[in-house]
């Protein structure tokens, strides 16, 4: 999603997963993957 001003947002199915502007910080390593796993289940291994 295009943005400006240092914004960092991750959206899944049109719903925010992580918003730096609301939390006031960058995501920690692995945090986005953890949030996605909670919402959509663990990744499938091929």
Contact criterion met (CB below 8 Å) for 26 and 8: yes
CB neighbour list of residue 11: distance below 8 Å, 6 or more residues apart: 1, 17
Dump pLDDT digits (tens) for 4-29.
667 899 999 999 999 999 999 999 99
Residue 20 structure tokens: 């730096």
CB neighbour list of residue 36: distance below 8 Å, 6 or more residues apart: 10, 12, 17
The pTM score is 0.72
Structure confidence at residue 42 as a pLDDT band (50, 70, 90) = confident
**Does the pLDDT of residue 41 top 80, yes or no?**
yes
Question: Cα dist. 46→3, 6, 10 in Å?
Answer: 34, 35, 24
Structure confidence at residue 44 as a pLDDT band (50, 70, 90) = confident
């Amino acid at each position: 999603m295009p943005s400006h001003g240092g914004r960092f947002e991750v959206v899944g199915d049109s719903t925010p997963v992580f918003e730096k502007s609301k939390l006031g910080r960058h995501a920690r390593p692995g945090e986005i993957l953890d949030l996605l796993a909670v919402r959509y289940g663990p990744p499938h291994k091929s």
